[in-house]
Amino acid sequence: MLHTPDTTGDPINLLELRDTPLSLDEVYAAVGDDTAGGTALFVGTVRNHDGGKPVTCLEYSAHPSAEAELRRIAEKVVADFPVRALAAVHRTGRLEIGDVAVIVAVSCPHRGEAFEACRRLIDTLKHEVPIWKHQIFTDGTTEWVGAC
């Protein structure tokens, strides 16, 4: 689904934390742009293990400032790369094995720029947005993981 670029000049088309399932189609549509030659998309899913221990499920919590921090990071990516469109969504609440936890996507004039911008977006999101992961292991133990 391609569309004409936003006439407001803001390439940040979708930023959200939500407690409902995420949609690849929604994120991909949000970064469609007729002037982009490359689109990079990253999907993070809940795996069945961490640190050698089997995981039952995860619970994500977010600080009230998380969406504002996500916007700050998105604006920095847009300032550093020739981004035509950008989208990022992250789940909160309880997620089961295989559930999609995060999707980020960026479209740029060329693929290399799109790959670099998308990597910067997800890596910075994981390190700086105040979202915490509570892992529940099959043996009943749990573990909190800093920013996810």
Q: What is the CATH number of the domain that holds 27?
A: 3.90.1170.40
In a domain, 96, yes or no: yes
Is 2 domain-assigned?
Answer: no
pLDDT 10s digits, 116-143: 999 999 999 999 999 999 999 999 999 9
Mean pLDDT of the chain: 93
Q: How many domains does the structure of the chain reveal?
A: 1
**Do residues 55 and 46 touch, judged by C-beta distance below 8 A?**
yes
User: Minimum mean pLDDT among 5-19, 43-57, 131-145: which range?
Assistant: 5-19
In a domain, 101, yes or no: yes
In terms of residue numbers, what domain contains 93? 12-147
Domain membership flag for residue 98: yes
CA distance linking residue 110 with residue 82, whole number of Å: 9
